[in-house]
Structure 1
Amino acid sequence: ATLAKKYSDDKSSAKMGGDFGWLTAKLPSGFYAFENAMYTLKKGEVSELLRTPLGWHIIKVMDKRHARGKIKVAHILKRTDKANPTIAKKEIDRIYAELANGADFADLAAKNSDDDKTAKKGGELAPFGIKVYEGSFEEASFALATNGDYSRPIKTKIGYHIIKRIEKIGLEDYPQFEAKSLASLKKDSRYETQKERVVEEIKLNARYKLNKNTFDNFVKKQTPEIYTYKWKVTNITDDVLFTYGGKKEYMLSDFTTYLRSNTRMRLRYDKKDPIAESVEKMLNEYVKETTLKYEQSNLEKRHPEYKSLMREYEEGILLFEASKQEVWDKASKDTLGLYLYYEENKTDYMWLPRADVAKYTVETESAKKAKDVYKCAKKKNDKKLLNKFNKKDTILTSEIVKIERASKAQSGMEWIEGARSEFSYDEKNGLATFKKILKIYQPTIKTLEESRGFVIADYQDQLEKEWVKRLNTKYDVKLNKDVVNQLKK
């Protein structure tokens, strides 16, 4: 604390011995080293030197706690008048007393709060987390235990507040947090840091080696023109620039082609920077790109499980394409073959016993009249029933549908012509509904159009069996029983 007060350039925290308050991830881009240290260090431990866009830091972890999430509160504010600071305190105490006697918080905020932006909204603030408001305000807000609780008057730099908790917003579920954070993380410096770490690991495993003489000779021939779009490659010997594993070679001409096709990258560099330093950075970018490509091309060699996965994927695509040509497309496009298959097997596609069913709806406020309709439906056919009860007003409607025996639609009715479902009347809405079996049909063969989906599926099964049979005839399949037995274990 003494050293922070004496040497820190952060004047706001230096006054408090370097105390920066509570922090939580994620910190702004460029502060990954700072963030990583504050989570890695234990309570009381001091970091080594850390570099951020602001400069160099040494941090000490004073304490740790669980993340607080966010909270939504309302507040009543009485601003302090420097000329007479006691007035605000008296006013806030008066308002607190009214609250204690049962007054409505929102009404008091509207009438008394000096926060013009929130007063008309009952004092409500937008949800906030840590380090948004002054520490005393934040602590008092998060200390409220349940929704509806309010604090005693608390003091901040601008005046006195009474705070009411509206809602505690917990931490997001990890999948939600991950989905929301991925896009921003890819734009953050930590993404590049991790990428560079991966690249260095790949280079080490791939035995990356730079031909320094070739590179140095190339750099010596460069002029400030390399920072412009006019730059051209002249007077170079096309030697090997770097290698991977002593086998994969990248020539100097590969690098110069990269530089020519990335003019915008070259233009970004400051002409005042030393040419050797800038070209080395350009080389690093090129090496990073080629390293990742080299790793991709060698994934199957370095990772057997990936090789197996890719083989499974490739074979799956081949099987899909072969099945598509030999079975699926043929079944849907071979109309003659489909028709012949249906004709040979059409007794497999039978309708179950079916019936025409009338679904009646009666709209009337008279339960007795609705009951009369239901009784008459026992003897009268559909047409006569509609004519009888729709002479003045249309109170009865019907819809004829086909149902299968033992289906859910038959529920509550015997399987005989004239059978009715139970009567149901909704007194509140003046509606009665019931069903009646008009005519029963015996099982019949479905037409090809009525059974097309089932016929195609069965035709595909037959085509697949015939295809597999042809393959077995053409290729001699031998089973390695030892391997099979190993799989059983």
Structure 2
Amino acid sequence: MNFRLIPISVCLLILFGFTAPLHAQKAMEDPVLFSIGKDNVRVSEFEYVYEKSNGADADYSAESINEFLELYKKFKLKVADARSRGMENNEQLEAELAQYRNQLADKYLSDDAMLDRLTKELYNRMKWDIDVSHILRMLPPGTPKEVKEAALEKLKEAADALASGVDFSAVAKKYSQDRSVSSNGGHLGYRRAKLPDGFYELETAIYNTAAGEMTYPVYSTLGVHLIKVHGRRPDPGTIEVAHILIRHPNPGEKDTSRQAIERIYEMLQAGGDFNKIAQQYSEDKNNRRQNGYLGKFKTGTYAPAFEDAAFSIPEDGAVSPPVETEFGWHIIKRISLDTLKDYEDEKRFLEEKIRSDDRYQLAQQAFLNRIKKEENFRKMDVSNEELLDVLTKKVFVMNWEVPQEYENRPLFQIRDSIYDLENFINYLAANLDARYQRSVVRDPASEVGHILDQYIDHEMMVFEKAHLEEKYPEFREIMREYREGIMLFEISKEKIWDRAGQDTSGLRSYFDKNRSDFHTAQNIYYNEFIVNTTNSRVLDKVEKLIRKKTPEKVLKKLNKAAEVVTYQSKKVSEGEFQDHFGTGQIKLADHEIYKKANSAAGITIFGQVQRIEPGEPLEFEDARGAVMSDYQKYLEDQWISELQKKYDIKLNESVLRSIIKS
């Protein structure tokens, strides 16, 4: 078999629609609603799929429940047939299910409350831009302790100098190891959340420091920072721009570039075409052929002067006065400006950002703390020093050899499962990254304890992931639905789609027996009346007149004082008529009336069918697509009929009555 995610997903969506909340069970019992052979369908499963399929229309009425019950029985018959053919137990299906389960499990393996807090925190930060400067001392991975201490001492010296009134730029140039400090004096300009992965602590410090204040030490993946906040402003959004650049020839000829950009600005002010001028004069070779197009960006992307000028442009299509940066002189054209949407509109996008960021570890740690309580986690009284005696200090190097003799001891317990020293050693042997250190370990016992904590977290996640179906009914239902969806796809492919595609004689025979069903579109002849009102009382009067009078008499009756109604005789295809009036199948009765209101225009359109002209019969090749579709439906109906005879369906009527609410 060849399982593919896209058609399976489509198959599921067609059958059941989009997701909706899982219906809460009203009691501990979960009775069987119906069974097909040995397969039971319980109330919880039926209610879950019923609500998921019907959404807001899931009213539990007798009509709605019975209609869906018939559909679901047919679905479960197909699944039972697939299961009887061994489609449930094969390596490809299990591999795809495992992949899907891993993806689905992620949303259940973090703390929802913490994730929600982080999402709202990020959204609120994104409303503001922070003007910030920093001094950075680099701390590469594995930096020795004495180097870290020296870095902190340098930041303290910098802080003392700033406190005494020394200019920040001068202090930054003396102490900062940021490569850009020589050109910007440590001034980063306006920055906006979210900062890149590994900079959450820095982002938090930037947003929590008051204007005019400084904070240190603040750590990031680069090292340790001292930051000073100069101010904040409402975030202007994401801007899309183009520019014209005139570069500085050399330090002594800046006037030349300034004069050139001023002449270009005068050309634009006189009505010159920005695109043509950019192509002709801009010295930015990367984009001048694209009319100077730079794309979209947020604050913190380009030089502060450039960004300030761009975000000051009042409207789309307008241009800025000349602005100077280290690259030369620019004229900027605003193309578009997008601002932050409402929280609910941004929420899903922000959650995805957080899941790929270091701050997500906070949500995971909160989750681990919660499940440790739920699963009665207990850590045994084994000291770090005792562990180190067994593992030896060589555990931190690549060529560590697993101890051959040791007293196996329990280390911790999750629910009823005991994890011992042997489990821990096997984990270390299989996970070089967990123990291998690129720097000298100065406190081996403490580091062993740290690695044990990592192992505990790992096993907690493995344990929780293995018990998701048990703890979360919705997870269990989604996995069952996905498994059965794959089986449905494969059995339908075999019994319907492939068969219809390969059975040319059967397809032709079906066409010959049902030739009258295949013809070109019918033509609809109708009278169209456009009434200049949406008033229901007036429209009732108009409709009665249309039914009783000829079009000429209708116009004469209604247009005495002013033109209230216009009339036109039309001929359109059946599809065009349906699109125009939003109808289903058109009735064949003469003078049937259809109505469509346009409140914005203040009019109502009546369409009175005069006659329907049948379409022309189609030959087999011309009708092949429609024949294929109808033949597949025919094969499906035959298959369902066979399954209903093959399998014994038992319905619990009393349980069904208990589900129905009206």
Instruction: Settle same-fold status: TM greater than 0.5.
Output: yes
Distance between the aligned counterparts of 2:429 and 2:628, measured in 1?
64
TM-score (normalised: structure 2)? 0.46
What's 1:259 paired with?
428
1:310 maps to a residue whose letter is: R
1:462 maps to a residue whose letter is: S
Percent identity between the two aligned chains: 19
TM-score (normalised: structure 1)? 0.60
Query: Where do 1:156-195 residues align within 5 Å?
Result: 156-157=325-326, 159-161=328-330, 163-165=331-333, 167-168=335-336, 170=338, 182=352, 188-195=357-364
Does 2:451 match 1:287?
Answer: no
Q: 1:215 to 1:115 in 2, by over 3 A?
A: closer
What's 2:266 paired with?
97
Residue in structure 1 matching 2:298, options 109, 119, 129? 129
Confirm or deny: 8 A CA contact 1:44 1:63 kept in the other structure. Answer: no
Deviation at 1:29, TM superposition (A): 2.3
Confirm or deny: 8 A CA contact 1:77 1:159 kept in the other structure. Answer: yes
Distance between the aligned counterparts of 2:469 and 2:617, measured in 1?
69
Deviations along 1:40-96, whole A, 9 cap, x unmatched? 789899989643233155665832413521322222426386546555544444443
Q: 1:487 to 1:19 in 2, by over 3 A?
A: farther
Does 2:661 match 1:488?
Answer: yes
1:33 maps to a residue whose letter is: E
What's 1:223 paired with?
392
2:516 maps to a residue whose letter is: L
Structure 1: state its 5+ residue gaps: 335-345, 357-406, 412-435, 441-447
Distance between the aligned counterparts of 1:124 and 1:267, measured in 2?
48
Which structure is larger by alpha-carbon Rg, 1 or 2? Answer: 1
Deviation at 1:165, TM superposition (A): 0.9
What's 2:312 paired with?
143
Deviations along 1:367-405, whole A, 9 cap, x unmatched? xxxxxxxxxxxxxxxxxxxxxxxxxxxxxxxxxxxxxxx
What's 1:205 paired with?
374
Distance between the aligned counterparts of 1:218 and 1:187, measured in 2?
34
Structure 2 SS opposite 1:231: coil
Deviation at 1:124, TM superposition (A): 4.6
Deviation at 1:250, TM superposition (A): 0.6
Residue in structure 1 matching 2:194, options 16, 26, 41? 26
Distance between the aligned counterparts of 1:240 and 1:479, measured in 2?
53
Q: 1:21 to 1:464 in 2, by over 3 A?
A: same
Distance between the aligned counterparts of 1:319 and 1:94, measured in 2?
67
Deviations along 1:270-322, whole A, 9 cap, x unmatched? 3444321332232122111100122224435544x44xx52685499679979
What's 1:456 paired with?
635
2:444 maps to a residue whose letter is: I
Distance between the aligned counterparts of 1:204 and 1:83, measured in 2?
71
Confirm or deny: 8 A CA contact 2:388 2:444 kept in the other structure. Answer: yes
Confirm or deny: 8 A CA contact 2:496 2:632 kept in the other structure. Answer: no
1:170 maps to a residue whose letter is: D
Structure 2: state its 5+ residue gaps: 1-132, 134-158, 500-509, 521-572, 578-614, 620-626
Supply the RMSD in Å over aligned alpha carbons: 5.4
Deviation at 1:102, TM superposition (A): 3.8
Confirm or deny: 8 A CA contact 2:519 2:617 kept in the other structure. Answer: yes
Confirm or deny: 8 A CA contact 1:25 1:35 kept in the other structure. Answer: yes
What's 1:377 paired with?
none
What's 2:163 paired with?
6
What's 1:249 paired with?
418
Distance between the aligned counterparts of 2:251 and 2:261, measured in 1?
16
Deviation at 1:216, TM superposition (A): 3.6
Distance between the aligned counterparts of 2:409 and 2:649, measured in 1?
54
Deviation at 1:209, TM superposition (A): 2.2
Structure 2 SS opposite 1:63: strand
Residue in structure 1 matching 2:408, options 238, 247, 266? 238
Confirm or deny: 8 A CA contact 1:74 1:123 kept in the other structure. Answer: yes
Structure 2 SS opposite 1:232: coil
Deviation at 1:242, TM superposition (A): 0.5
What's 1:365 paired with?
none
What's 1:391 paired with?
none
Deviation at 1:461, TM superposition (A): 3.2
Deviations along 1:140-160, whole A, 9 cap, x unmatched? 122223344222233445554
Structure 2 SS opposite 1:165: strand
Deviations along 1:318-363, whole A, 9 cap, x unmatched? 79979999x99789999xxxxxxxxxxx9x964438899xxxxxxx
Confirm or deny: 8 A CA contact 1:76 1:113 kept in the other structure. Answer: yes
Q: 1:111 to 1:220 in 2, by over 3 A?
A: same
Deviations along 1:20-42, whole A, 9 cap, x unmatched? 53212331222112324555789
Query: Where do 1:96-115 residues align within 5 Å?
Result: 96-105=265-274
Structure 1 SS opposite 2:405: coil
1:210 maps to a residue whose letter is: K
Distance between the aligned counterparts of 1:263 and 1:283, measured in 2?
14
Q: 1:202 to 1:67 in 2, by over 3 A?
A: farther
Q: 1:456 to 1:137 in 2, by over 3 A?
A: closer
Distance between the aligned counterparts of 1:439 and 1:69, measured in 2?
55
Distance between the aligned counterparts of 1:231 and 1:52, measured in 2?
35
Residue in structure 2 matching 1:74, options 234, 240, 243? 243
Deviations along 1:419-461, whole A, 9 cap, x unmatched? xxxxxxxxxxxxxxxxx98999xxxxxxx99985454233223
Structure 1 SS opposite 2:190: coil
Structure 2 SS opposite 1:242: strand
Confirm or deny: 8 A CA contact 2:379 2:411 kept in the other structure. Answer: yes
Q: 1:41 to 1:318 in 2, by over 3 A?
A: same
Residue in structure 1 matching 2:645, options 456, 460, 466? 466
